[in-house]
Amino acid sequence: MIRHARLEDCDMLAELARQTYADAYAAEMASEHLQHNLVTHLSNQSIAEMFRDDIFLLAMHDETAVGFLQYGVANKNFEALVEGLQVELHDIEIRRVYVLSSMQNMGLGEALMCTALTAITDACTLKSLQVLLNVWETNYGAQKFYQRYGFEKIGVRPEYNPNGDKTGNDYIFKLDAAIS
């Protein structure tokens, strides 16, 4: 079942976010960098603050949260990373699509993405919009997943650890969604 997350879901979402993030990146990320990201970007307080601006869709299985998708207004910082890209106020950024590793390849990511893209296009009264996202360069499964929905790689954003050392790249993807 997919449902909109509520403010009272914040602690559960934060725990799910930390677990899925650690599962995905622990093998390739220095432990101090991983811990920094978990504590700084995926804390209960950080997730609660994100509720002010973003929408969270929650995937539930037997009353247990097993995945979520987060989206909101696109960050204008993408413009500095991709030559010629203009981010408008109505453009959307998909910030996270996280599914427990034990529940992957069961259609949950697809259900979350379809629900989000339907909500985005239904809510938009404009003729077109861009949906942007970024994905880690070695997350090949996610890249393939996004490409199935028509997302195309348009740029690269270098990532740095808290010490300022480059750790790799996020790829920036874009979907042009025509609204009829």
The pTM assigned to this predicted structure is 0.89
Q: What is the pLDDT of residues 6-50, one digit of tens each?
A: 999 999 999 999 999 999 888 888 888 888 889 989 999 999 999
For the domain 2-178, what is the CATH superfamily, name and number?
Gcn5-related N-acetyltransferase (GNAT) (3.40.630.30)
Alpha-carbon distance 81 to 76, whole Å? 10
- Comparing CA positions, the residue from 160, 163, 161, 143 lying closest to residue 151 is 143
88 has a pLDDT exceeding 70? yes
Mean pLDDT of the chain: 89
- Spatial neighbors of 163 by CB under 8 A, at least 6 apart, are none
pLDDT attached to residue 83: 84
128 has a pLDDT exceeding 70? no
Residue type, 116: A
Q: Burial letters for 29-68: b for 16+ Cβ neighbours within 10 Å, e otherwise? A: beeebbeebbeeebeeeebeebbeebbbbbbeeeeebbbb
Alpha-carbon distance 157 to 152, whole Å? 15
CB 172 within 8 A of CB 95: no
157 has a pLDDT exceeding 70? yes
96 has a pLDDT exceeding 70? yes
Instruction: Output 128 or 61, whichever has higher pLDDT.
Output: 61
Instruction: Output 127 or 42, whichever has higher pLDDT.
Output: 42
Domain boundaries, the chain: 2-178
The percent of the chain in helix, strand and coil, each rounded to the nearest 5, is: 40, 35, 30
121 has a pLDDT exceeding 80? no
